[in-house]
Amino acid sequence: MRRRLTGSIQSLPIKWKLMLGAALLIFLLFASYNFAQYLVLKQWMMKQEEDKIQVNMVQFQDYFQDKLASTNDLQIADSQLYVEKLTGKNQLVRILDKEGKPLVSVSNHFGVSWVVPKPVVIPELYDMTHKEEHILIYRSPLVSGNFVGTIELASNLETFDHFSETLLWVMLIGGILAIFISGISGLAISRQFMRPIRALASTIRSVKEKGLSERVTDIQNGDELSSLAKLFNELMSQLEFSFLQQKQFVEDASHELRTPITIVEGHLSLLNRWGKSDPAVLDESLEASLQEVRRLKKLVQELLTLTKVEANLLSESTTSIQVEPVIHETIKRFEVLNPEFEFVENTKNISDVMLLMNSLHLEQMLMIILDNAVKYSSITKKIVIEGNISFNEVQINVQDHGIGIPEADLPFVFDRFYRVDKARNREIAGTGLGLAIAKQLVLNYQGNLTISSRESEGTRVQLTFPIHYTK
């Protein structure tokens, strides 16, 4: 039963849970405060009644002591009038002799039989119930000369009981009202509290249905929940951006792959129709197809490299390497392949520099940059490679004197598949992926890659890396 109740409370919506919690808490606080207040008030009222009866007793004591001192013998009957005058409403006053026989008995709205007469030697004060009546009794010995007796005072606590009962009712009704008010305010608070969560949930639902462009809009108040919604929006923007980027990449890649495939297809159908009998067509088409297949192979290879570099999958074999020998070896390879070029190597300044990286990656970056310098230099075939240290960075500059890059194209040369003026580049082999790979590689090592260029004058590519340490 209890488990079922806990289960059904747990499965309630947060709004109701908050409301119930708030209502219960406020009720408990209110009820315990009220109950304590009720007890204190009741005690205080009882004390008032006791004080009152004690004051009465002192009056009677004084009166009878005086009387006994002057007459030396108590004429109790004489006192009847005086006692009647002093007896208040709902009260009983009795003077008892030594045996407990009432000598004087005055009652006002009070049943004489409700309290049994009882002589005492020491004072006693207590409350008791007789049937439905709640009675406060005070007995005190009266001793003077030969007389030994007891003064007995009794008060009906009807008014006191009535008052405390009313108080209890007021507090109970107050408690019920408190539950009601706390329930309503709990509901209002939880509604306010749940608003951003509901907005978040409905946005997530619409993202599921309509796509990544949906955002949470109702996030004005600046509390933790609205910063959660803001964070969610930022995350969605990031996701949307990378999703669009990925889509663009797939589109570009398919487009780039389609061109060589279409060319090969064209040549193959040409061969199929006429090439079998015409050796000239056969040779030309085979050569052209081979060239396109090689281009295709390079494109696929570079696409793979780019994907790996972007996922940063290659950085496990990072070690501390000396930069200068890697540069030197790479240049030497280019010299052998391009004997018509003059390579000026000026890297003495960085001969001691050590970098924390995979030497193959440094080689790969240099090869992309040097390959471009060679590819895009048609008249002045001179390439200058310099190494410098600036603050805590090493700079590697590759300067060519080739065709350069128009200013308008400069910001885009790091984009995937971007080639300056495709018509001009048609005869120069390339995929437009080289610089994108190089840039990503450099970023993977917290470095930077920048290009400055002037058309028809040349291009300067600068690589910078934070220095690990010098030898």
CB of 337 to ligand ADP, least distance (A): 16
Judged by CB under 6 A, the chain residues 322 through 381 that form the site for ligand ADP are 368, 372-373, 376
Looking at 199, 362, 405, 463, which residue binds ligand ADP (CB under 6 A)? 405
Of 341 and 418, which CB lies nearer to ligand ADP in the complex structure? 418
Looking at 114, 193, 249, 418, which residue binds ligand ADP (CB under 6 A)? 418
User: 267 Cβ partners below 8 Å, 6+ apart?
Assistant: 285, 286, 288, 289, 292
Q: According to the binding rule CB under 6 A, does residue 309 interact with ligand ADP?
A: no
Of 164 and 450, which CB lies nearer to ligand ADP in the complex structure? 450
Of 68 and 433, which CB lies nearer to ligand ADP in the complex structure? 433
CB of 458 to ligand ADP, least distance (A): 7
Q: According to the binding rule CB under 6 A, does residue 463 interact with ligand ADP?
A: no
Contact yes or no for 319/358 (Cβ under 8 A): yes
Question: Which region among 114-122, 214-222, 350-358, 403-411 touches ligand ADP (by CB under 6 A)?
Answer: 403-411
What is the contact mask toward ligand ADP in residues 430 to 449, using x (rule: CB under 6 A)?
Answer: xxxxxxx-------------
CB of 398 to ligand ADP, least distance (A): 8
Looking at 399, 425, 450, 462, which residue binds ligand ADP (CB under 6 A)? 425
Looking at 160, 400, 441, 464, which residue binds ligand ADP (CB under 6 A)? 400
CB of 432 to ligand ADP, least distance (A): 4
Question: Which region among 4-12, 160-168, 382-390, 396-404 touches ligand ADP (by CB under 6 A)?
Answer: 396-404
CB of 290 to ligand ADP, least distance (A): 19
Q: According to the binding rule CB under 6 A, does residue 260 interact with ligand ADP?
A: no
CB of 367 to ligand ADP, least distance (A): 11
Q: According to the binding rule CB under 6 A, does residue 275 interact with ligand ADP?
A: no
CB of 373 to ligand ADP, least distance (A): 5
Looking at 296, 366, 419, 447, which residue binds ligand ADP (CB under 6 A)? 419
* 3 state SS for the chain: CHHHHHHHHHCCCHHHHHHHHHHHHHHHHHHHHHHHHHHHHHHHHHHHHHHHHHHHHHHHHHHHHHHHHHHCCCCHHHHHHHHHHHCCCCEEEEEECCCCCEEEEEEECCCHHHCCCCCCCCCEEEEEEECCEEEEEEEEEEEECCEEEEEEEEEECHHHHHHHHHHHHHHHHHHHHHHHHHHHHHHHHHHHHHHHHHHHHHHHHHHHHHCCCCCCCCCCCCCHHHHHHHHHHHHHHHHHHHHHHHHHHHHHHHHHHHHHHHHHHHHHHHHHHHHCCCHHHHHHHHHHHHHHHHHHHHHHHHHHHHHHHHCCCCHHHCEEEEHHHHHHHHHHHHHHHCCCCEEEEECHHHCCEEEEECHHHHHHHHHHHHHHHHHCCCCCCEEEEEEEEECCEEEEEEECCCCCCCCCCHHHCCCCCCCCCHHHHCCCCCCCCHHHHHHHHHHHCCCEEEEEEECCCEEEEEEEEECCEEC
Q: According to the binding rule CB under 6 A, does residue 420 interact with ligand ADP?
A: yes
Q: According to the binding rule CB under 6 A, does residue 404 interact with ligand ADP?
A: yes
Q: According to the binding rule CB under 6 A, does residue 150 interact with ligand ADP?
A: no
Both structure tokens of 288: 């052209």
Of 194 and 367, which CB lies nearer to ligand ADP in the complex structure? 367
Count of residues in contact with ligand ADP, rule CB under 6 A = 22
CB of 442 to ligand ADP, least distance (A): 13
Question: Which region among 98-106, 137-145, 194-202, 413-421 touches ligand ADP (by CB under 6 A)?
Answer: 413-421
Distance CA 95, CA 23 (A): 58
Contact yes or no for 141/148 (Cβ under 8 A): yes
Of 387 and 404, which CB lies nearer to ligand ADP in the complex structure? 404
Q: According to the binding rule CB under 6 A, does residue 83 interact with ligand ADP?
A: no
Return the C-alpha torsion angle 422, 423, 426, 427, nearest 10: -140
Distance CA 82, CA 469 (A): 115
Q: According to the binding rule CB under 6 A, does residue 402 interact with ligand ADP?
A: yes
Q: Which residues bind ligand ADP (CB under 6 A)?
A: 368, 372-373, 376, 400, 402-405, 413, 418-420, 425, 430-436, 459
